[in-house]
Structure 1
Amino acid sequence: MSTARGENRVGAQRRPATDDAVKSARRKARAADSRRRALLSQDRAVTDGSLALSPVAEPVEVETPKPRRDQTTAPARSARKAPPEPVTTARMPFVLSILGLIAGGIVGLLVLNTAINGNAFELQDLREKQTKLDAKEQRLTDELADVKAPGNLAAAADRLGLVEAEEITYLRLPDGKELKMPTPGGN
């Protein structure tokens, strides 16, 4: 696991001797860089904060732990390996793809909502037309029932000058023969 400064830590244990050696080496490098810059430009003093004037620390050797006697069956570890560096991926393409998915979803919802609302208006118009057609059908059915009433048929026949037939005769179409129907009480 690595911290913000890039120092390596193993679990919760910190290796102070190694950290101090790294810090000391960094201080030396900064001080040498400061001195080199000062030598190149003679008019500046050799100071770069407290690092240029700090004393040089000697490197510290770190002993590796010796295996205990009860661990004779396990292979001896002479040096510990640092954990692998964390894998870093580019965040910008991921962020852009997520934003694209969100924008696409919103646009899709807007298109779907518009289509649903358009269909709702069309459905409302069709329902209004259906109501008008149902009312017209009912009115025409009522008029037809009035015209078919027996009293209205007799009145319409009188207006046209029709009289009631005394004898009913039927024609048989294949041979054209007339068939007379008997009347009640007649011969």
Structure 2
Amino acid sequence: MSVNKKGTNLARADHDEIVKAARRRARAADSRRRALAGDASAPVTDGPLALQPRIIEPEVAPPAPAPVAPEPAAPKRKAPAKRPDTVAPPAPVTTPRTPFVVFLIGLVAAGIVGLLLLNTAISEDAFALHDLRAAQGELDAHEQQLKDELAELSSPGNLAAAAKRLGLVPAEEVTYIRLPDGRELTMPKPGGN
């Protein structure tokens, strides 16, 4: 590296030239890349692939052809119709909106009426269930009252009083009859001899 008397770098001038050359190479590469990618809007302007000016040469008229005798004409066939390169997009489809809107409103209205009917049926069932539970409570109370009366009537004191009213007396001895042979067995009274 060389330095002059003022201490500045002599390579500074070379550095600027290197930067300019690098920029030129980058522009050329970018131009080539666009040309290879098919970007027709940006022609190649730098580098070996750059477009050269076209030289237009004057056209020379070809010599006139010699007269030829006409040949009999062959029957002409129709050329097949060429398909177009592009197909036109189909016409936009428009549907009438009024029937669709009426259908949606009817559907919503039917849904609301259905929900109201369902809610009414559920409410009726709830009232019937409430009535049945009230009747069950009354029947449970009546059943409990009958059980209490039965327990009172079947107590030993009440049974003895009812037996005396009917004229029954306590048994002195208990007698059992055996069914296979018909023999009677007398059981002694407890506590007696």
**TM-score, length-scaled by structure 2:** 0.52
Q: What is the number of residues matched between the two proteins? A: 114
Secondary structure of residue in 1 paired with 2:169: coil
1:97 aligns to 2:103 (yes or no): yes
Tell me what 2:173 maps to. 167
Q: Which runs of 4+ in 1 moved over 6 A?
A: 80-83
Q: Does 1:110 align with 2:116?
A: yes
CA shift in 2, pair 1:126/1:174, >3 Å: farther
Counterpart amino acid of residue 148 in structure 1: S
The answer for unaligned runs of 5 or more in structure 2 is: 1-38, 44-85
Give the counterpart letter for 1:68 in structure 2.
A
Taking CA–CA contacts closer than 8 Å with sequence separation of 6 or more, which of the two structures ends up with the larger relative contact order? 1
Distance 1:70 1:81 in 2: 29
Residue of structure 2 equivalent to 1:150: 156
Report the identity percentage: 65
Deviations 1:5-64 (A, max 9, x none): xxxxxxxxxxxxxxxxxxxxxxxxxxxxxxxxxxxxxxxxxxxxxxxxxxxxxxxxxxxx
Higher-Rg member (1/2):
2
In structure 1, stretches of 5+ residues that fail to align are: 1-66, 72-79
Distance apart, 1:82 and its partner CA: 8.1
Alpha-carbon distance between aligned partners in 1 of 2:181 and 2:108, rounded to the nearest angstrom:
86
Aligned ranges for residues 22-33 of structure 1 at < 5 Å?
A: none
Question: RMSD over aligned Cα, in angstroms?
Answer: 2.8
Cα distance, 1:85–1:170 mapped onto 2, change above 3 Å: same
Query: Normalising by the residue count of structure 1, what TM-score does the alignment of the two structures yield?
Result: 0.53
Amino acid at match of 2:123: N
Residue 178 (structure 1) aligns with: 184
